[in-house]
């Protein structure tokens, strides 16, 4: 992996269960650490879901292989949270390619 390609900073958000005042469990995401990454945005797509126009944005984030990333984690880039769709480790290049999609909340 060439270090000069890691130009962006991303945050890794880890899920945690929290019990609120009404004794219901909710999942909150806390930023555990930040790391350098290469972000490629192939573009966005427009689709119609339930008679509503939805603009989905996806990206491919490449980080070093020594970071532990699970599919339940979320990534934060430029103030937006992304859901992990797939993780493709590449031991030869010592990198992980993570396919993500923007969370619209």
Domains defined along the chain, listed by start: 3-102 (2.40.10.270)
The answer to whether the pTM exceeds 0.85 is no
Report the distance separating Cα 104 and Cα 12, nearest Å. Answer: 18
Task: Supply φ then ψ for residue 79, to 5 degrees.
Answer: 80, 5
The model's pLDDT over 43-94, given as tens digits with 9 standing for 90+, comes to 666 777 677 776 778 899 999 999 999 999 999 999 999 999 999 999 999 9
The model's pLDDT over 17-35, given as tens digits with 9 standing for 90+, comes to 999 888 999 999 999 999 9
């Amino acid at each position: 992996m060439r270090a000069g390609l890691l130009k962006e900073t991303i945050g890794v958000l880890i899920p945690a269960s929290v019990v609120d005042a009404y004794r219901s469990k909710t999942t909150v995401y806390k930023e555990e650490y930040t790391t350098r990454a290469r972000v490629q945005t192939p573009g966005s797509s427009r689709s119609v879901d339930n008679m509503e126009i939805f603009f989905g944005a996806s990206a491919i984030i490449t980080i070093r292989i020594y970071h532990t990333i699970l599919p339940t984690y979320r990534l934060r880039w430029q103030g937006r949270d992304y859901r992990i769709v797939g993780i493709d480790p590449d031991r030869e290049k010592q990198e992980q390619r993570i396919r993500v999609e923007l969370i619209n909340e």
